[in-house]
Amino acid sequence: MKKQAFIKYHGIGNDFILIDNRRKDFQLSDKEIQLICDRHFGVGSDGLILLERSFGVDFKMIFYNPDATKDMMCGNGGRCIVAFARHIGIVKIKYKFEAPDGIHTAEVFEKLRRNKLNIKLSLLDVDNIVEYTDGQFINSGTAHFVSFVNNLSELDINTLGSKIRHDKRFSDIMGTNANFVEIIAPGKLNIRTFERGVEGETLACGTGITASAIAYVDRYNIQENPIIINAKGGELKVYYTKTPDNRYTNIFLEGFAEKVFEGVFFFER
């Protein structure tokens, strides 16, 4: 029998299994990753994240979807791994870490309570927004399609999201995440997201919220900053700078990350 220690975190309901892999002893197969992420037969999560050593920065983030696909950025996961790093002894105010899409920084702004931190995470610049008649495509660390809708609460997100996720327009990148956004006030949005790799709706998606904020600013020439976005799991803020040549830089995602519990998972072999 094999066992694996872990800690569970969430960022506004987007939940992750965090594992300290600085000794490089994590050796789970794709099937075992799928099992530990399973909500009925495992711990249950929207992803599994490894923290590893990385030369020149504080740590390296490796992210797996529940279906064991990897090599993509996760915004809420990025905030959760910073909280996890503090828990295992990497205690700083400002962090720099390596993720699948490059180098990110993060700052811990405040301790909301013992296991809950407010964290502001940098995301990479956005310089290419592809316009379609039914929405916008943006890569904010991973692929996202953004549609602006009415009556968001009434939509069948799993059906609509799955259709976009498998749309032939995105077949060369193995599909896209799908975000459905409703404008509720200037600078304020509601959002629901269908996530690739989870293959269903999640309570929040950090890179999806970021992509949706940038899509909103770009399409409607918005001046408000930050953009406040409410997902099912809670609220996040997206900060940005728009350049004269229509690029978006200094993008930050701010919100809380919270430790839920820790334990050991047993695999029968």
Active-site position among 28, 51, 157, 205: 205
Q: 100: cis peptide before it, omega within 30°?
A: no
- Which residue of the set 62, 72, 73, 74 is catalytic? 74
Q: Distance between CA 66 and CA 32 in Å, rounded?
A: 10
Three-state secondary structure of 167-234: CHHHHHHCCCEEEEEEEEECCEEEEEEEECCCCEEECCCHHHHHHHHHHHHHHHCCCCCCEEEEECCE
Give the C-alpha distances (Å, rounded to integers) separating 108 from 41, 80, 94, 118, 235.
34, 11, 7, 6, 17
Is-catalytic flag, 37?
A: no
- C-alpha distances (whole Å) from 170 to each of 178, 190, 248 are 11, 25, 23
Q: Which of 139, 143, 119, 121 is nearest to 129 (CA)?
A: 139
Active site residue 205: yes
Please list the alpha-helical segments (H only) found in 58-111.
75-87
Distance CA 231, CA 203 (A): 6
Q: Distances from the Cα of 269 to the Cαs of 2, 28, 41, 43, 186, in angstroms?
A: 7, 12, 15, 18, 55
Catalytic residue positions?
A: 74, 205
